[in-house]
Structure 1
Amino acid sequence: MPIMVDDIMKLLCTISQERKMKAAVKHSGKGAVLTGAVAFIGGLVGGPPGLAVGGAVGGLLGAWMTSGQFKPVPQILMELPPAEQQKLFNEAAAIVRNLDWTDAVQLTTLVLGSEALKQQLLAMLVNYVTRELRAEVRYDD
């Protein structure tokens, strides 16, 4: 039985979509730099009051810049380069290696029928996204 990368990717997309998983690369460093830069410029231009205004405006800009960066995990998975898909495939294949399946539909049916397998794959996926992609994961339940 040849194990296909596409079948595993479809499975992971299905279970992450079922849980409404989203992920975002953390941009908090960029937000902090922007906040500091705007506060600094405000201080140069307006003295102490400019520093206060610059800090407030910079904080708002930094917060705006780092929010709303979440994308659905299935979309992220399908946009992964082949080498990253292969890494993810290798980790998932180790979990489903004992299943007998012929296509993505059958594999998905088998996994969705086993809460233990589904939980193992979800944990592996969250670990992969946070470790390899350095992203934050959230659930829109």
Structure 2
Amino acid sequence: MLPSGLAKMPIVMEDVMKLLCSISGERKMKAAVKHSGTGALVTGAVAFVGGLVGGPPGLAVGGAVGGLLGAWMTSGRFKPIPQIIMELPPSEQQKLFNEASTILRHLDWTDAVQLTTLVMGSEALKQQLLAMLVNYVTKELRAEVQYDD
């Protein structure tokens, strides 16, 4: 029993998703699914064509141009993690919620604002949630995480 005889608030998924958006937004976290296979394919194709057209020098030029083109094609596909969280299908949000709930289960709050205030006031809780979120994004979504701060 908690003080005043109040029952502990049930953990609400929407509150937790808002919290995760807040802490990942604060760190300006972005993620991108790795597209290295596409880049390698483009590099190889342009090098091959360069080799057919210009022989060994064409192969070298084609490899360099293909590498630049492949890098350009696969860059810039980062999305803010808060956007990714909100676009997750319900089943994936549930997985993320379950992982976050194990970290938050000892807290009491009435709404997302209060939950966010509690967590933002605790560097240890923020770090636990950020580590869980990075692990989720890299393992479950097979994405690369980047920070802009």
Query: TM above 0.5, one fold?
Result: yes
Runs of 4+ in 1 over 4 A off after TM superposition: none
Distance 1:135 1:90 in 2: 20
Residue 140 (1) aligns with residue 148 (2): yes
3-state SS of paired residue (2:10): coil
Residue 69 (1) aligns with residue 55 (2): no
Distance 1:64 1:92 in 2: 36
Q: What residue ranges of structure 2 are gaps of 5+ in the alignment?
A: 1-8
Deviation at 1:35, TM superposition (A): 0.2
Distance 1:81 1:54 in 2: 41
CA RMSD of aligned residues (A): 1.0
Q: Give the equivalent residue in structure 1 for 2:136.
A: 128
Deviation at 1:52, TM superposition (A): 1.6
Deviation sequence 1:43-83 (CA, Å, 0-9, x none):
12222222122111111111101211111110111111111
Q: Give the equivalent residue in structure 1 for 2:58.
A: 50
Of the three residues 5, 11, 27, the one matched with 1:3 is: 11
Alignment of 1:20-99 (within 5 A): 20-99=28-107
Deviation sequence 1:78-121 (CA, Å, 0-9, x none):
11111100000000001000111111111111111111111100
Deviation at 1:2, TM superposition (A): 2.8
Partner letter of residue 47 of structure 1? G
3-state SS of paired residue (1:24): strand
3-state SS of paired residue (1:3): coil
Which structure would you say has the larger Rg? 2
* TM-score relative to the length of structure 1: 0.95
Of the three residues 108, 123, 128, the one matched with 1:100 is: 108
